[in-house]
């Protein structure tokens, strides 16, 4: 079983922010593969479904934790304990300031790299889960990071944001089959984005 968790904040004022990109990605996934009705479970809004792969359908659970971003691990820990899944079957979708806007990287394990939501998951289930990192760019200085991620995407960003979320959903059978490198490549094929220094645009503006 896969647990696909989107990082985000639950209040309406956060819906359009960069920090809620993970919520948007997993919602797109659930809609694309016709997951079941959303209901409250594991301190989250959850939907269950099946993902087709060459080896058969893979059961999956979508979580949008309602604990707020920095406490995501509380929800993830509950779900992992309930289903008795290995941490490697958890995939966290979240905004990544150290990737240029629209870029995508799938990483297994590692540290939190300053992301408090990821740190929270590590505290609950250890570091050996998968991270679907969705680039939102860097504001140029660490003092501006919080304002950047808690600000809404600009209107000009909406096309690539939607394309990236759709690509994450369309390519999902590869992820479910354990083909992580192919999944990453397919997401970037479906939603190509220029490879830039994430701080470059901020320095130039």
The residues carrying an active-site annotation are 19
CA dihedral 13, 15, 16, 17 (to 10 degrees): 80
Under a CB-based contact definition with an 8 Å cutoff, are residues 58 and 176 in contact?
yes
CA angle 46, 49, 53 (to 5 degrees): 140
Q: State CA 52 to chain mean position distance.
A: 20
Rg of the chain over Cα atoms, rounded to whole angstroms, equals 16
Overall residue count recorded for the chain in this entry? 205
Among residues 85, 53, 26, which one has the least CA distance to residue 177? 53
Strands 104-108 and 130-135: antiparallel
Q: How far apart are CA 137 and CA 135, in angstroms?
A: 6
Q: State CA 130 to chain mean position distance.
A: 10
């Amino acid at each position: 079983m896969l647990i696909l968790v989107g990082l985000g904040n639950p209040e309406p004022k956060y819906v359009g922010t960069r920090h809620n990109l993970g919520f948007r990605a997993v919602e797109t996934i659930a809609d694309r593969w016709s997951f079941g009705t959303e209901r409250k479970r594991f301190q989250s809004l959850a939907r269950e479904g099946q993902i087709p792969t060459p080896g058969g359908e893979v059961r999956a659970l979508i979580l949008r934790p309602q604990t707020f971003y920095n406490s995501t691990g509380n929800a993830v820990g509950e779900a992992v304990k309930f289903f008795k899944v290995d941490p490697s079957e958890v995939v966290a979708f979240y905004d990544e300031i150290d990737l240029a806007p629209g870029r995508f990287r799938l990483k297994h394990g590692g540290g939190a790299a300053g992301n408090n939501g990821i740190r929270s998951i590590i505290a609950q289930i250890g570091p050996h889960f998968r991270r679907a990192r969705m680039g939102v760019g860097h504001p140029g200085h660490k003092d501006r990071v919080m304002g950047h991620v808690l600000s809404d995407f600009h209107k000009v960003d909406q096309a690539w944001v939607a394309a990236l979320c759709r690509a994450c959903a369309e390519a999902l059978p590869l992820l479910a089959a354990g083909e992580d490198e192919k999944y990453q490549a397919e997401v970037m094929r479906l939603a190509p984005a220029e490879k830039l220094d994430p701080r470059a645009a901020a320095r130039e503006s």
